[in-house]
Structure 1
Amino acid sequence: MEFHNILSFSIALTSILIVSVTAFMLRILRGKQVKIPPAPQAKGALPIIGHLHHLGGSKITHHVLGDMSEKYGPVFTIKLGVHQALVVSSGAVAKECLTTNDKAFASRPKSKAVEFMTYNYGAFGVAPYGAYWRQVRKIIMHEVLSHTRVEMLGHVRVSELKASTKDIYETWRTNKDSEGSEMVKMDMQQLFGNLVINLLMRVVSGHRLHYKDAEAVRFQNVVKKFFKLFTTFVAADFLPFTNGFDLGGYEKEMKMVGKEIDDIVEGWLRRRKEERESSSRQQQEGDQHFMDVLISTVQDATEDDFPGFDHDTVIKATSLGIIIAGSDTTSVTLTWALALLLNNPHALKAVQDEIDKHVGRDRLVEESDLKNLVYLDAVIKETMRLHPAGPLSVPHESMEDCTVSGYNIPKGTRLFVNIWKIHRDPNIWADPLEFKPERFLTTHKDIDLKGKSFELLPFGSGRRMCPGIFFVLKVMPLTLANMIQQFVISKPSNEPLDLTESPGQTGSKATPLEVLLAPRLSLNMYHDGE
């Protein structure tokens, strides 16, 4: 018994010594270990401003960064004034950033545009990571943009689409005699913009804007100003010592746009509250508009639920964020899709034939038909590959030190994922510059658009990916299918359409998409809309 106790004690002591010595040696080794190197920095930085001069002017930012990646590889850093930014141009590295380091890169950098035009960082998509963002995200993902909620709004999408296509038909009917032709020239970029804004307005507030009304013109103008200013270089964002000087007067203009936006959205909210007060409880419970859901959700919330924001600001900022984020990106993708189809008439005919086969010409395309329109789905995927609505992802900012591709990335580094470059990687995509929808029916038929396939990231990935993905993936195919089913659309000449991109956050088409258009169905089909 005594021997057994001595043996047990000896084993225990030996184990403690082994663990202690191992821990001590590991500490020594860590102290001697070579530090993880920082990511390589692109050459050509100037004192104070860094690489900002490469990204200004008429140059398209994601093109410039794409060219840099050819020199410096899929991972490199640039200096934006006092800030360091990590540029990623590889799907594999993007996956590492947005999965392994998803929490580290979960925040957004601050800027004057976001401060002055989105309720002081109140808009969900650009809000920094924290308690406010988590609470709003919870509401949006469960109560506003969930798969179930999006399905419930199907009748609104169908109703608005009918009303908008009827507007297009009426414009054709009014103009065809004056133009002396059955085919009337129209700007599809503007038509898609009007359609999508109205659709989002109906979903958010229950109202639509008639594109000739003063309210519609005012809102469209302020949205244009918003996007122009959102991508404008503001010195104070990168060079803090210029803060307070408002070089270029952009901050003053941003404040004016922010005030005008608030006046408009405040009007929507006030009108919605008045309508709710005059309706019965049963009617209120049946309301399905985003603004109603937000009003009901936040009315019993405490100040601690939304730190720094009152309830009305939460509703206005979230509603604005949904409309701003969804309107331009969706209309841009629809514009590119139609432009690519017109430049590839065999593909346009394939879509028309598919719709005629599965739907016919005696009724309009419905959401239940979309599952059968596989070539149309491939066209949309190929459009988002070539022209993603966010070619350079909305920037992230690291909240802690992390490691990416074996490199040390310090806290406070901004992350740019060059989605445009990833989508054109020749190692992934055969003939990457060519429009080939068929690839999504064969070699890439299993591609996922919901952030799991990192070779195709039109909506991003991780906790900061686009929350409106279910909504957009309903709107785009239904809208494009209805336009192609209901109208004969052709180019104004035999020349290919200009596919030049314009600088900016959404990578829109630089020139208007002017087409010749005429009804394709029996004329009585255009009188059933609202």
Structure 2
Amino acid sequence: MEPTTFLYTLLLTTFFIYTALLLIRKKRTPPLPPGPTGLPLVGSLPFLDPSLHTYFADLSKKYGPIFSLQLGSKLAVVISSSSLARDVLREHDNIFANHDVNEAGLTISYGGNDIAMSPNGPTWRMLRRICVREMLSPHSLDAVSSIRQQEMRSTVRHIHASSGNPVDIGAEIFLNVMNIVTNTMWGGTLEGDRETESVGQDFKELVANIMDLLGRPNVSDFFPALARFDLQGVKRKMTVLREKFDNIFERMIEKKSYDEGKRTKDLLEFMLRMEREGGDSKTPFTMSHVKALLLDMFTGGTDTTSTTVEWAMAELLNKPDILKKLQEEIDQIVGRDKLVEESHLPQLHFLSLVIKETLRLHSPLPFLVPHCPSSSCIIGGYRIPEGTRVFINVWAIQRDPSNWTDPLEFKPERYLQQGLQRDFAGKDFDYFPFGSGRRICAGIAMAERMVGYLLATIVHSFDWKLPEGKDVDLSEKFSIVMKKAIPLVAIPTPRLSKNELYN
């Protein structure tokens, strides 16, 4: 064989072997999850429905419990089954331990310095430790129980003053939670020169605007190369909102004086001491961390809690027999000659069932906080590349008929059935409203107390009815926190035996 012919033969053979190896490798590499094809450049962006939770649930019926869609230059994967959620949040928890941070979240969290946006690592562990041990531990919650009692009495007085007139339940509860959270954080409410109700409404709108921007589709998130241009002004608007909180935080911080021999009385004093000392031995703790954690506590503690109580009241007013059963239980344990105390809560078993069922149907965060794998991972036989935005559709999973009988019905008694006992620990992947794994919500203990205490108090202290000609509206408004599309307005009537209990 001539040298030239031999060389051509060698090159041709090498080419065929290389091509065959590529095909074999491609065949062995798991594919991306199935999903809609979308359009060039923009992918499925033009087809997104504002009610993203139901839109994704419908797509899962077509493409299966795991599907992908291209959103601009960003790949998104949606998980809609309990078994696959387990794979992500338990079996591969270390890979999916980071949250997918959008531009709005990065801005409001002082550059990702809070619990939700901070990547898994020493800083995140320090921030979580501060919250769980210093504010949200059972001991810490017990230490400030008098604050919750005081604000609960104030709420009862205020609702009583509106007896016979329509009351916006969500707004009333938000004011209560706002004062509890702020008093716990820095030892004072947000009262100023104006009436407390006016301040509460301003802050309710401020938190609502933040949540709206966090959940708003943003070109910067779908095309990261364009983020520096802030084409929709989301970063600019969020910066304005952050500055409003900043002004409040600065005033509160100025009032605090650091005294090394002084016993820490609230979270802010503790964090200021940590900031002055520079953090722990491994991780610095800065003023940005202080402000980001304060913002976490405020936005995370107020909006989700008040929204959950509002949903619970809407479901109870829609099912008067369940409301009556709950009132009867509280009457039996508490009596009608005194107000509910936190010490009564462990004995109110039906109340806990009502709260569980409310959180099943109305999980505060329908997608939790989207996750982002730190490396490529195989889930359900499909490849999820590093950097993908992963949505866990807990709203759909907790309404899945393969998991639940009559999934759309509000049935608190369902948890009394054998094998259906559920808690908030994130161990059962047909029910995990607070998430699961290492990024599970840090505020579960506080949420349980607050929601239980609030709900028990307002259904025990008052009878409620809808305004004439009105029905309960259970329609949803999709956002980071799933709200009622129409605020719940109802009329209270005193039901306790002694009028002085309302004063």
* SS of match in other structure, 1:496: coil
For 1:194, the equivalent position in structure 2 comes to 175
1:285 pairs, out of 263, 267, 273, with 263
Q: Deviations over 1:190-247 (max 9, x none)?
A: 1111111111112111112348346545433322221121112221111134333332
The structure-2 alpha-carbon separation of the partners of 1:375 and 1:445, relative to structure 1 and needing over 3 Å to count, comes to farther
For 1:506, the equivalent position in structure 2 comes to 481
Residue 224 in structure 1 maps to residue 199 in structure 2: no
2:272 pairs, out of 292, 295, 300, with 295
Q: Deviations over 1:460-515 (max 9, x none)?
A: 00111110001101111111000011111111136531111012111100101110
Distance 1:488 1:32 in 2: 68
The structure-2 alpha-carbon separation of the partners of 1:442 and 1:259, relative to structure 1 and needing over 3 Å to count, comes to same
Q: Deviations over 1:13-50 (max 9, x none)?
A: xxxxxxxxxxxxxxx9xx97952413423114121122
Conserved? CA contact 2:279–2:286, under 8 Å = no
For 1:65, the equivalent position in structure 2 comes to 56
One-letter code aligned to 1:212: E
Residue 82 in structure 1 maps to residue 58 in structure 2: no
Alignment of 1:19-418 (within 5 A): 35-55=28-48, 59-170=50-161, 172=162, 183-210=164-191, 212-213=195-196, 215-271=199-255, 273-274=256-257, 281=261, 284-285=262-263, 287=265, 289-302=266-279, 305-306=282-283, 311-418=286-393
Question: 82-91 or 331-340, which moves further after superposition?
Answer: 82-91
Distance 1:148 1:55 in 2: 45
Conserved? CA contact 1:54–1:64, under 8 Å = no
Percentage identity across aligned positions? 34
The structure-2 alpha-carbon separation of the partners of 1:498 and 1:237, relative to structure 1 and needing over 3 Å to count, comes to same
* SS of match in other structure, 1:126: coil
Conserved? CA contact 1:109–1:128, under 8 Å = no
Q: Return the TM-score normalized by structure 1.
A: 0.85
Residue 524 in structure 1 maps to residue 500 in structure 2: yes
Distance 1:350 1:119 in 2: 46
Residue 149 of structure 1 deviates from its aligned partner by 2.0
Distance 1:132 1:144 in 2: 18
* SS of match in other structure, 1:243: helix
* SS of match in other structure, 1:198: helix
Distance 1:352 1:303 in 2: 48
The structure-2 alpha-carbon separation of the partners of 1:134 and 1:94, relative to structure 1 and needing over 3 Å to count, comes to same
Residue 145 of structure 1 deviates from its aligned partner by 1.9
Residue 483 in structure 1 maps to residue 458 in structure 2: yes
Distance 1:160 1:36 in 2: 58
Residue 436 of structure 1 deviates from its aligned partner by 0.7
One-letter code aligned to 2:141: V
Q: Gaps spanning 5+ residues in structure 1: where?
A: 1-27, 173-181
* SS of match in other structure, 2:476: coil
Distance 1:162 1:514 in 2: 21
One-letter code aligned to 2:263: E
Distance 1:472 1:110 in 2: 24
One-letter code aligned to 2:137: S
Q: Deviations over 1:40-83 (max 9, x none)?
A: 23114121122222335xx2111110111111111111212111
For 1:14, the equivalent position in structure 2 comes to none
Conserved? CA contact 1:144–1:293, under 8 Å = no
Residue 142 of structure 1 deviates from its aligned partner by 2.6
Question: 422-431 or 40-49, which moves further after superposition?
Answer: 40-49
Distance 1:285 1:246 in 2: 45
One-letter code aligned to 1:228: D
Question: 210-219 or 323-332, which moves further after superposition?
Answer: 210-219
* SS of match in other structure, 2:402: coil
Distance 1:217 1:515 in 2: 18
One-letter code aligned to 1:285: R
Q: Gaps spanning 5+ residues in structure 2: where?
A: 1-20
Distance 1:304 1:317 in 2: 21
One-letter code aligned to 1:183: G
For 1:176, the equivalent position in structure 2 comes to none
Distance 1:32 1:114 in 2: 39
Conserved? CA contact 1:40–1:77, under 8 Å = yes
Distance 2:361 2:224 in 1: 37
Distance 2:407 2:205 in 1: 36
Conserved? CA contact 2:87–2:379, under 8 Å = yes
Q: Deviations over 1:67-116 (max 9, x none)?
A: 11111111111212111122111111111101111110111223221222
Distance 1:311 1:207 in 2: 23
Distance 1:231 1:110 in 2: 12
Residue 292 of structure 1 deviates from its aligned partner by 2.5
Conserved? CA contact 1:266–1:316, under 8 Å = no
1:467 pairs, out of 442, 453, 458, with 442
